[in-house]
Amino acid sequence: MKKIMVNVIEIQDKKYPELLKKIKDAPKKLYYKGEFKNDIFENCLAVVGSRRLTSYGRRMTELLVSEIAVKGITIVSGFMYGGDEAAHRTAVEAGGRTIAVMPCGINVIHPEYQEDLYNKILNNNGLIISEFEGDLLPALWTYPKRNSIVAGLSKAVLVVEAGLNSGTLITTGFAKSFGRKIFAVPGPLTSEVSRGTAQLIKQGAEIVMDASDILKYFNISTIDSIKANSSKKNSNLIQLSALEKEIIEHLKTESLEADILARMLSIPISKISASLSLMQIKGFIGQEGDKYYIN
């Protein structure tokens, strides 16, 4: 890997992010990699989620972040695997900008196997930020520090999935004390990683149903894009065969395995398999593990 320049910015500096300056115990120095443009800090949304992101969580992250990131909102997260990784990756893939706040020294990539994502962030006008210099390894005490920066940089925090007593809830705790808005994605209560988000909603976080809920908060209009999207989908659906339409009908309520579809429709598995492949190739449905869902 080629060495990327590490830069420092101090709290007295004019370029130091305004929002971050306001928080209690703001870091005196910020180390960063990438191009430090002030407009990247203008509209920041923190997207945080459980390390044990479910397929539902990943899909919701992709759905929401891809629409938000293309509108020029910077996605801030903590570069951990799971929810953070999904947020960064979706933002980069949608062509948006993203900031990764590291829990370790600026020279360390943690977790190291996400190096490809690390480079992608930098190559797409993103930033890598850390409060810590050099080769410091992440420790229990560095994570809350990192979380406070994630919350501090952002106008609002979007929680996709979180367990009770999780690091994600520490981030939202900071956000609350800084007076930032909190959005939460509802999920099934039988899932451990939806109980944290449910608690946030109970405490007054705003429920997110689609990207427009968040975009409205940032004063960005959403009408045209969503309309265009849905009309495109409808015109595509017309080309489907009768069986494919039936499959789509069943997938609308929940994602299902091929076996269950075959049983529900009483159609041989070989036919179901072939249809699923073709629909996947055409892009109507996606697959996570062995379950299929509508794109």
Partner 1 sequence: MLIKVFSAANLGLETIKVDVEVNLANRGLPGFEIVGLPDKAVDESKERVRAAIISSGVEFPMKKIIVNLAPADVPKEGSFYDLPIAIGILKSVLQFSLPEKSLFFGELSLDGSLRHTRGAFLLALFAKEAGLENLFVPKDSANEAAIIKGIRVYPVENLFELTSHFLGRKLIKPAIFKKSEIDERLPAPAEFDMKEILGQEQAKRAMEIAVAGSHNIIMIGSPGSGKTMLARALPGIMPPLSEEESLEVTKLYSATGNILPGGSLVTSRQFRAPHHTASQVGLIGGGVKPQPGEISLAHRGVLFLDEFSEFPRSVMEAMRQPLEDGYLTISRSKERVKYPADFMLVASANPCPCGYLNHPKKNCVCSSRQIKKYQKRISGPILDRIDLHIVVQPVDVEEFSENQKASEFLESSVKIKERVLAARQIQLERFKGEGIYTNAQMKNSQIKKYCRLTKEVEQILKQAGIRFQLSARSYMKMIKVARTIADLDGAEDIGISHMAEALQYRPKIYED
- Binding residues vs partner 1 (CB under 8 A): 51-52, 55, 81-82, 111, 113, 192, 257-259, 262-263, 269-271, 273-278, 280-281, 283, 288-290
Kindly state the smallest distance separating residue 52's Cβ from partner 1, in Å.
7
| φ and ψ at residue 122, rounded to 5 degrees | -65, -35
Q: Which residues make beta-bridge pairs with 47?
A: 158
Kindly state the smallest distance separating residue 245's Cβ from partner 1, in Å.
17
- Which residue's CB is nearer to partner 1, number 111 or number 173? 111
Give DSSP secondary structure letters for 94-151. TT--EEEE-SS-TT--SSGGGHHHHHHHHHTT-EEEESS-TTPPP-TTHHHHHHHHHH
**Are 44 and 74 a contacting pair, CB within 8 Å?**
yes
- Which residue's CB is nearer to partner 1, number 30 or number 100? 100
Distance, C-alpha 172 to centroid of its chain: 15
Kindly state the smallest distance separating residue 116's Cβ from partner 1, in Å.
11
- Which residue's CB is nearer to partner 1, number 17 or number 163? 163
- Which residue's CB is nearer to partner 1, number 17 or number 83? 83
Residues 25, 109, 55, 237: is their CA dihedral positive or negative?
positive
Give DSSP secondary structure letters for 63-83. HHHHHHHTTTPEEEE---TTH
Residues 108, 6, 39, 178: is their CA dihedral positive or negative?
positive
Nearest to 171 by CA among 103, 258, 264, 96: 103
Kindly state the smallest distance separating residue 114's Cβ from partner 1, in Å.
9
Q: In this structure, what token pair is assigned to residue 295? A: 């794109």
Measure the CA–CA gap between 154 and 161, rounded to whole angstroms. Answer: 18
- Within 13 A of 44's CA, how many CA atoms are on the CB side? 29
- Which residue's CB is nearer to partner 1, number 231 or number 277? 277
To which H or E segment does residue 17 belong?
A: none
* DSSP class of 41: G
Kindly state the smallest distance separating residue 112's Cβ from partner 1, in Å.
9
Kindly state the smallest distance separating residue 233's Cβ from partner 1, in Å.
18
Kindly state the smallest distance separating residue 27's Cβ from partner 1, in Å.
28
Kindly state the smallest distance separating residue 202's Cβ from partner 1, in Å.
22
- Which residue's CB is nearer to partner 1, number 98 or number 194? 194
- Which residue's CB is nearer to partner 1, number 124 or number 287? 287
- Which residue's CB is nearer to partner 1, number 7 or number 277? 277
